[in-house]
Structure formats: structure tokens, C-alpha cells
Structure 1
Amino acid sequence: MSNYILGQTPPVEGGGDRPAGGGAGYYLPEGLPTPLAHPAELYGPYWQGTRAEKLVVQRNPATGVHQWPPQWIAHDTQTFDLEWVEVAPKGIIHSWTRIWHPVHPALKDAGPYIVVVVELPHAGNIRMLGNLLGDPMQAVVIGAEVEAVFEHHDSAEPPFTLVQWTVPKG
């Protein structure tokens, strides 16, 4: 099994959101392999946070430096003293791409869709990857503000929640 991202899109005001290939309400189609969580010891706090609709990342308490993805040691001091802290689920688009070609057979009718690299300025400018929800042909602007959307997959075994991104209205 591979770590492909799939998700269920919440409704977006004013339209512009459409299921991409799969059943009604799915951002990406059914049939993709279920994402596999990384070792619970390392990524456990992150996955627990997403289930509670909180975005949590590691931080070195001695220096205040945030880091992503999770590691056993602090990047800046090479020590094992790390803590998990909640950060605002908001960021800015650092980079993006529109995916046109399927990377899995279940995606053959799902394109295009948008993947963004989101920078979190309030967390030391660490960057996360995710899908940008909404119209797959929308104009994407580097530096645009985005907000996290927590997609719950309660029927999966084990249940999990993915972090996707959306441009706030207004």
C-alpha cells in the first residue's frame, strides 16, 4: 500500500467545488490506497491533533524553533528534547502545481487537482504539503492565505483525519 492522499471535500460557499472523479462529495475518488500513518511513536501526536481538528508540530523548547516533518532529534541543536505544540491552522501558499496526469489508476478520471506547499509564518516558516480544495482550475497565487480543513475518515481502519487547504472567502 502507498501513502496516497484521498479526502472528502466539505461544501464550499458559492460553488466552485466539485467532486473529482469519485462519488459525490469526494475530492479525490474512492479506490486509492488508504494513507498509512507513520510510526505512532513519532507521528502519533500529529494524527491525534488532526482528529481533534488541531494542527500540531514539533518545537524545540530551548530555542523555540519549530520543525516539520517530525524527527527524533531537534534540527537546530541535535538534542532529543522536543515538544508538540498547537499552531494556527493558517498559512500562505509557497508553491503549487496542478496535477493533470494520474499517479494511480483510481485517478484516471480525477484530474486536474491542485497540490500546494503551505508555509506557516507563525511556526518558523515550516512548510506542509496538501491539496488545495475548490475549483481545480482556480487561479493560484503565491503568497495567498490559506486555511486548513480537517477531513475525517471515520469509517477507515484505523480512522484518520487529513489536513487539506482552502483559500478563505472574502
Structure 2
Amino acid sequence: MSYLPTYLPGGLPIPVPENDGLDKPYWDATRRGELVVQRCKKCGTFQWGPEWICHKCLSFDVDWHKVSGKGRIYSWERPWHPVHPALKEHGPYIVVLVELPDAGNVRMLGNLLGDPKQDVRIGADVQAVFEPHDDAKPPFTLVQWKLA
């Protein structure tokens, strides 16, 4: 488990579990420095984003499974223009779509840490790192990515 100082500036909306509680186990796990992905207990299929029903067999018996946080870059982009007022002076930055081999190759979005003008290679190995925001109300932890 790797923790890091804040990468993004303050003032962004605080991510919290949806009102229905579906993604609460994910946010709880990030607070512990763990990455979890939904997995069907009936057919074993991993899925992301969270749903009440398995995407493959339509079972309602889905649970959360801890994964290593090791992945590879499937796609990426380098935003130069702010997508939120808090990011006005915080560009460019790199957003990656990460494929998780030990979770059925589901894909998650996140920021790639490091030089925002670095060369990014499709297929590069990355590792999840956890960015705690303990002073937020409520506290939360973001998953970011670094080159492995």
C-alpha cells in the first residue's frame, strides 16, 4: 500500500458513496489503502463500475474482491483545459484508463502521477497509490496511478 500527498488542488467536489450505498465498499476500501472490484459470486465475473446485478449472468449475488492494484495503461489523455474551476491553474495533467489483469481486465480511470508532459506508453505497467484527504468532511481517499 502506497500513500501520497495531495496531487489535485483543493476545491474539487468530494467523492462520496452514492445515496443507494452501492459503491460504499469501494470508498471504505480506499480508506484502508486497498483496491476492490465487484465480482459475481455465481459466475466469478469481475465488473466495474459497480452494479446491483452481474453484467454476465444477471445474478444479484455480487460482492467486492480485493485486487493487487497492478495494472497497465489501456488508454490515456492529457487535458490542457480545466474541467472544473478548481483545476484552473492545474493543467495539463494525465488521465489514464487502467486495465486490471487480476480483475478480469476491467478498466478504471485515474490520474497518472509525475511530470504532466511525460511520454505515456500504451501497455505500460502502473500501480495504484492512495491519496488520503483526511481533512475533508467526510474524509475520503482517491486512487491515483504511478508507473511501476
- For residues 50 and 155 of structure 1, the distance between their equivalents in structure 2, rounded to whole angstroms, comes to 15
User: Hey, which of these two has a bigger chunk of strand by percent?
Assistant: 2
**SS of residue matched to 2:142:** strand
Match among 132, 143, 148 for residue 163 of structure 1: 143
Structure 2 unaligned residues grouped into runs of 5+? none
Report how many aligned residue pairs link the two structures.
Answer: 146
1:100 aligns with 2:80: yes
Match among 52, 72, 93 for residue 113 of structure 1: 93
Match among 66, 83, 94 for residue 86 of structure 1: 66
**SS of residue matched to 2:56:** coil
1:140 aligns with 2:120: yes
Q: Which runs of 4+ in 1 moved over 3 A?
A: none
Please give the TM-score of this superposition, normalised by the length of structure 2: 0.92
State the match for 2:102 in structure 1: 122
CA deviation profile, 1:127-159 (whole Å, cap 9, x unmatched):
000000110011100000000011111111111
- For residues 33 and 61 of structure 1, the distance between their equivalents in structure 2, rounded to whole angstroms, comes to 33
- For residues 123 and 105 of structure 1, the distance between their equivalents in structure 2, rounded to whole angstroms, comes to 34
CA distance 1:48–1:130, shift in 2 (3 Å): same
Deviates more, 1:27-36 or 1:39-48: 27-36
State the match for 1:153 in structure 2: 133
Shift of 1:102: 1.0
Larger radius of gyration: 1
**SS of residue matched to 1:130:** strand
CA distance 1:106–1:163, shift in 2 (3 Å): same
Identity of aligned residues (%): 60
Please give the TM-score of this superposition, normalised by the length of structure 1: 0.81
- For residues 52 and 61 of structure 1, the distance between their equivalents in structure 2, rounded to whole angstroms, comes to 23
- For residues 89 and 82 of structure 2, the distance between their equivalents in structure 1, rounded to whole angstroms, comes to 8
State the match for 2:48 in structure 1: 68
**SS of residue matched to 1:49:** helix
Deviates more, 1:39-48 or 1:73-82: 39-48
Structure 1 unaligned residues grouped into runs of 5+? 1-8, 11-24
Q: Which protein, 1 or 2, shows the higher relative CO under an 8 Å CA cutoff with sep ≥ 6?
A: 2
Residue type of the alignment partner of 1:146: V
